[in-house]
Amino acid sequence: MVTDPQNVIAIVPMKPLSQGKSRLAQTLTAVQRADLALGMLRRVVLAIKAASIDTVWVVGGDDRVCEMTRSLGAECLEELGEDLNDTLKKAFELAFEKGKSALYVAGDLPFLKPADIHSMMQASRSQGNVTLAPARRDGGTNSILVPLGVFMQPELGQRSFMKHLTQAARLERSVAINSSQGLGFDLDVVDDLATFQHMEPGLLERLSVEHSLGPQSLEENPG
């Protein structure tokens, strides 16, 4: 059985645009990096909303991030913790307080589609499983669906996927793994730029244009 999207709150952590994608600085200007981050955030939020998850929290960021977030019908929350993992842990707890499961989704997934979000909910089997989506490059984790009341400690960073698997085993929770392309490919380093441009020619230019658009659906602007 598929988890009801109305029982899920999606959480997308963001840095202020001036601090984001610093590893791309040798190739992109600060303005280009900010535009890229906003374009990817837009795609991520639209994919989540198109998967019928009504409540989307974008946590952190800055004024431009919040403006984008609100224009897409999502909620902008201030930074909650001392670092990414602390912030995400507190966001999970807030979701639980509202009686919802928590779905973390990275904000830098340029190929994310609604089907990827649906597959996370399907894999959870009515919130019975902790569902993990591994990053394809560094052993990281690009999405986690944590059922209501499962107090997992986020451990994002290199090799976090194995850490999350180990933690779920320690909590005696079953785990589902989602290896879809849209969830696997995060854009973080210079090598990703060439790879992703090959996968989708014109991707960077398209993302930069998309972030300035209104809240269209993915079908209206598929990229």
Q: Is residue 219 part of a domain?
A: no
Q: Is residue 215 part of a domain?
A: no
Q: Is residue 220 part of a domain?
A: no
d(CA 76, CA 67): 9
Q: Is 165 exposed, middle or buried (0-12, 13-18, 19+ CB in 10 A)?
A: middle
The count of domains in the chain is 1
Overall average pLDDT of the 57-81 stretch: 94
Q: What is the domain extent for residue 170?
A: 5-210
Give the pLDDT confidence of 81-126 residue by residue, as tens digits. Answer: 889 999 999 999 999 999 999 999 999 999 999 999 999 999 988 7
Q: Is residue 199 part of a domain?
A: yes
Overall average pLDDT of the 8-24 stretch: 92
The domain that holds 138 is classified in CATH as 3.90.550.10
Q: Is residue 216 part of a domain?
A: no
User: pLDDT-derived band of residue 216, with 50, 70 and 90 as boundaries?
Assistant: low
Q: Is residue 221 part of a domain?
A: no
Torsion angle of the four alpha carbons 122, 126, 128, 130, in this order, in degrees rounded to the nearest 10: 40
Single pTM value for the model: 0.91
Q: Is residue 204 part of a domain?
A: yes
> Is residue 134 classed as helix, strand or coil in its secondary structure?
strand
The pLDDT, as a whole number, for residue 158 is: 86
Q: Is residue 20 part of a domain?
A: yes
